[in-house]
Amino acid sequence: MTHNNDLKVFSGNGSKALTQAICEHIGTEPGKAIVSQFSDGEIRVQVDEHIRGRDVFLINSTSPPVNHHLMELLILVDAAKRASAERVTAVLPYFGYARQDRKHKGRVPITAKLVANLITAAGADRVLTVDLHCGQIQGFFDIPLDHLAADVVFANKLISRGLQENLAVIAPDVGSVGRAREFASRLGMPLAIVEKRRPKENVSEVMNVIGDVEGKNTLILDDMIDTAGTLVKAARALKEFGALSVRACATHPVLSGPALDNINNSVLEEVLVSDSIPLSPEVASNPRFHVLSLAPLIGEAIRRIHKDESVSSLFDSN
């Protein structure tokens, strides 16, 4: 079994604040490493402490700039392996490229699989990530992968604030029904689904709500918010079907393009997100957003992996 003093945690520039919080949770200091770039843009990494024989965890979300942070992680993994770390775990609080998980038409790549191959080829021994866009991506890796669910963090917060009263959990599309059903079951709440359909060519989408939301507080559950276009339409549909209030809950606040404007001009009362991706000051100061930290969840998972304990038991329902 690994010993406590053999644990080392390092961060790329995509997860500095989260890594600091994770280290505080598990009672250690972030490892010393230079992660910068040369004048031509090439990434420079140097681990500045002894890690031979150590259990090393390298934390970096592949958040914007996605390619830069991905390369940081790959180079960190290579540096750790070449420094003779005993085991290297790549920790991706947010796994970018996860939406490119299949060939939906001819002559397109499966980039999520390519990224999995790159992480493995760099020398990672295992991977730890949170709320993959598609659960099947776990099968893209030929090394062990621990897939954490942020649902427990959000559920506990809702319960502590008493927001589960008269609540219906909403799946924003058919593809997210499975996760929404588990979340609703954890809270003991009913489930409804927002279905979008296009009646015919060149006719705008119609949003239909399957399930009873009239007179209820509603919570739209998703893994990420990108431009927030679909989220805002779903929220409007819920109000049209009689919902008292609409909140949203999403693990990864990508928030690209017009996302902030879309949310500010929507019927959404509140948006709960995690710190898997660093938020811009503009978003962090927005009163509609409520940020929950993944540090206790990821920190406990790291501790259990280090001690060879069960990670899945973290999510056992009470």
The structural domains of the chain, ordered by start, are 4-149+295-315 (3.40.50.2020), 151-292 (3.40.50.2020)
Gap between the Cα atoms of 21 and 31, Å rounded: 13
**Catalytic member of 196, 216, 233, 239:** 196
State the Cα angle at 305 between 301 and 307, rounded to 5°. 115
The residues, any chain, with a CB within 8 Å of residue 52's CB and separated by 6 or more, are 83, 84, 85
Residue 82's φ and ψ, nearest 5 degrees, are -70, -20
Q: Tell me, yes or no, if 157 is annotated catalytic.
A: no
166-196 pLDDT tens trace: 999 999 988 899 999 999 999 999 999 999 7
Q: What's the burial of 165, exposed, middle or buried (CB within 10 Å: 0-12/13-18/19+)?
A: exposed
Integer CA distances (angstroms), 237 to 184, 185, 232, 242, in order: 20, 23, 9, 9
Dihedral Cα 68, 125, 254, 225, nearest 10 deg: 160
On whether the CB atoms of residues 11 and 30 are closer than 8 A, the answer is yes
Instruction: Please say if the pLDDT value at position 272 is more than 60.
Output: yes
Residue 295, token pair as written in the block = 């540090």
Identify the pLDDT of residue 201.
56
Average pLDDT rounded to a whole number, residues 57-76 = 97
221-265 pLDDT tens trace: 999 999 999 899 999 999 999 999 999 999 999 999 999 999 999
Identify the pLDDT of residue 317.
56
Q: Is 200 or 176 the better-scoring residue by pLDDT?
A: 176
Question: How many secondary structure helices (H) and strands (E) does the chain include?
Answer: 9, 14
Residue 230, token pair as written in the block = 């679909």
- 179-216: string of b/e by CB count within 10 Å (b at 16+)? bbebbbebbebebbbbbeeeeeeeeeeebebebebeeb
Q: Which residue has the tokens 């002559």?
A: 107
Identify the pLDDT of residue 263.
98
User: What percent of the residues of the chain are helix, what percent strand, and what percent coil, each to the nearest 5?
Assistant: 35, 25, 40
Identify the pLDDT of residue 221.
97
Identify the pLDDT of residue 2.
44
Q: Which residue has the tokens 């811009």?
A: 280
Reported as a pLDDT band with limits 50, 70 and 90, residue 206 is low
278-315 pLDDT tens trace: 999 999 999 999 999 999 999 999 999 999 999 998 88
* Model pTM above 0.75: yes
Q: Which amino acid is at 318?
A: N
Q: Residue 154's closest CA among 1, 275, 32?
A: 275
CA torsion through residues 109, 94, 270, 170, sign:
positive
Residue 87, token pair as written in the block = 């085991």
CA torsion through residues 148, 154, 157, 159, sign:
negative
Identify the pLDDT of residue 316.
74
82-102 pLDDT tens trace: 999 999 999 999 999 999 999
7-54 pLDDT tens trace: 999 999 999 999 999 999 999 999 999 999 999 999 999 999 999 999
- pLDDT mean across residues, the chain: 94
Helix (H) or strand (E) segment spanning residue 183: helix 177-187
Identify the pLDDT of residue 199.
64
Q: Residue 70's closest CA among 94, 50, 87, 103?
A: 94
